[in-house]
Each structure stands twice: as C-alpha cells, then as structure tokens.
C-alpha cells in the first residue's frame, strides 16, 4: 500500500467541474437542455461543497463530512457530469493518471493485485453526487475492489477504507508472511499485525481496509502461483549464467517497493524468498550466509 500523488490544481478543481457542465449541449432535439440549466444554477452551492470537501481533506475530517440534503435532490443531474466519454471528464482522469509515478497504476491502489480499469468515488456518488467529477474523489481501482467497496466509506466509529490522497500509510512493516516448507515445494501464508508504533486511529482504518476487501485471503490464494513464477524466473536467470539469486531478486524488490511500498504483498513475498535458504536450494544454489 502506498499513497497516491495528489493531482495538480493549477486548473482549480471546481473549474474542471464547470468545464464539464459547459461542455454539455445547450439544446437537445430543439429543446433547451434543462439539466445543463439546472447545473449552472447549482454552481454556487457546488463551489461551497468543493471548498468544504477540500478543507475536510486538509484537516483529516472526512469521517465527519456530511451529505448535502439539498443537493441530493438533484442527484441525477449532478451524476450526469460523470460520463467518462466526455472529453472534459477524460481530461480529469488523464490528470489523475499522469500525476502518478510511472508504473504505479499497473496495480490497483486498493488491493495491489491487478490493473485498475475503473474509478471509485471515495465519497460515494450516490450520497455526494456534487463531487462526481472532483479529482480528489476519484481513485483508480479494479472492478473487484470497486464492487466490494460499493457505497461504503465509514462505519459508526471510523472510515473503513484508506483514502489514498490524504491518509498517511505507515512506513513500518505490518504485513507479515510465513513460508511453508514442504518436500520439493514452498508455499506461504500472509498475516497482518499492528506494530507497536502505529496509533489506533490509523490502524483502525488500515485494518478495516484489509478486512473489508478480504485482502489476506486474496493474497493467500494467489501466492502459490506467484512463487511458481518467481522460481521459474530465477531458474532462467541461473541457466543464463546468473550466480547471485538474492541480487537478482533484490532488483525487483527495489523497483516494486519504491512504487508500491514496503507492505505490498509481492515485495513482502520476494524479501522472504530471497532470505530463505530452502528457496535457494529449490533454485539449485545454496544461499551464502
């Protein structure tokens, strides 16, 4: 898990909403576009909500950010702004994607497993439709995480998913792994444990994130295939004359840790394998101690 880079607001975020509204047709089949007219009339309220949302991000108070009972009455019109075929909406998603380090979006920020091909509204669009195209409410994610998160973002006591534009993800090891050694094979099980130096409010969100998305189970389902791929890659490296398996793996570890963080499941796995004497025997080398 790693935080995302906040997209530039050189063009103010509210201006991007205004641009989306402005791009809508004035007339539809010879009749004035009532949706566009309504959105223009709502602009002062939306400006206020954008300011309050951005303030909540700065103050880390998203948990207490409440829906607007008046704007929710215009939900359908507001949600019409989020049409990813619109060029002005494409500009917003392109801004988000181009702001991230090269390679970061090879994997979904929520799970770290597969390519993110959808966008999640962190504050659900069904409750906060006025934020449908706010760049800081749009997070690239895979369809599985998008479906699992659905319209949830908090419980009665705390937020239940990481907010990748605002949360400080602890740079300490909390994702653990146990290698399972068997005759001529190696497996692994992941686990998550609270380190001593993580404060409870941070841990509560982090722990809920992993539980709600069932990440440990997903990692454990995928780990054997991942180990098989790593073994095959290392054996090809050895057949081509390579002699330093730890050094070979370390290249992948450094790249992935820089992009995805020290608690990314593949980083944790590769570190454990690199340090395993038995893994080196499987490849055909004894690990130098």
Question: Residue written as tokens 């449908």?
Answer: 132
Report residue 288's pLDDT band, with 50, 70 and 90 as the boundaries. Answer: very low
Cα separation, 234 vs 238, whole angstroms: 6
Cα separation, 243 vs 245, whole angstroms: 6
Q: Which residues lie across from 31 on neighbouring strands? A: 28
Where in the chain are the domains? 13-149, 175-283
Q: Is the pLDDT of residue 289 over 50?
A: no
Q: What is the pTM of this model?
A: 0.93
> Beta-strand (E) ranges in the chain?
27-28, 31-32, 118-121, 138-141, 175-182, 185-192
CB within 8 A of 124, min separation 6: which ones? 150, 151, 152, 153
pLDDT in tens, 215-235: 999 999 999 999 999 999 999
pLDDT in tens, 38-63: 999 999 999 999 999 999 999 999 99
């Amino acid at each position: 898990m790693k935080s995302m880079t906040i997209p530039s607001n050189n063009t103010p975020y509210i201006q991007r909403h205004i641009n989306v509204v402005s791009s809508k047709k004035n007339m539809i089949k010879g009749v004035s576009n009532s949706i566009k007219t309504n959105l223009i009339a709502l602009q002062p309220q939306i400006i206020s909500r954008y300011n309050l949302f951005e303030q909540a991000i700065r103050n880390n108070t998203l948990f207490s950010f409440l829906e607007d009972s008046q704007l929710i009455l215009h939900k359908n019109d507001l949600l019409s702004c989020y049409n990813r075929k619109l060029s002005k909406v494409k500009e917003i998603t392109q801004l988000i994607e181009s702001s991230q380090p090269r390679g970061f979006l090879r994997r979904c920020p929520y799970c770290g497993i597969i390519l993110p091909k959808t966008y999640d509204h962190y504050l659900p669009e069904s409750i906060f439709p006025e934020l449908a195209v706010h760049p800081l409410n749009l997070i690239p994610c895979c369809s599985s995480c998008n479906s699992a998160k659905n319209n949830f973002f908090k419980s009665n006591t705390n937020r239940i998913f990481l907010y990748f534009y605002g949360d400080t993800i602890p740079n300490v090891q909390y994702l653990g792994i146990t290698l399972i050694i068997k005759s001529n094979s190696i497996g692994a099980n992941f686990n998550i444990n609270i380190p001593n130096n993580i404060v409870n409010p941070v841990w509560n969100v982090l722990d809920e994130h992993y539980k709600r998305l069932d990440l440990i189970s997903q990692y454990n389902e995928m780990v054997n295939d991942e180990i098989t791929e790593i073994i095959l890659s290392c054996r090809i490296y050895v057949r081509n004359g390579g002699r330093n398996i730890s050094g070979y793996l370390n290249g992948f570890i450094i790249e992935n840790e820089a992009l995805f963080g020290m608690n990314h499941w593949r980083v944790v796995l590769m570190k454990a394998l690199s340090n395993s004497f038995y893994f080196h025997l499987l490849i055909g080398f004894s690990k130098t101690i």
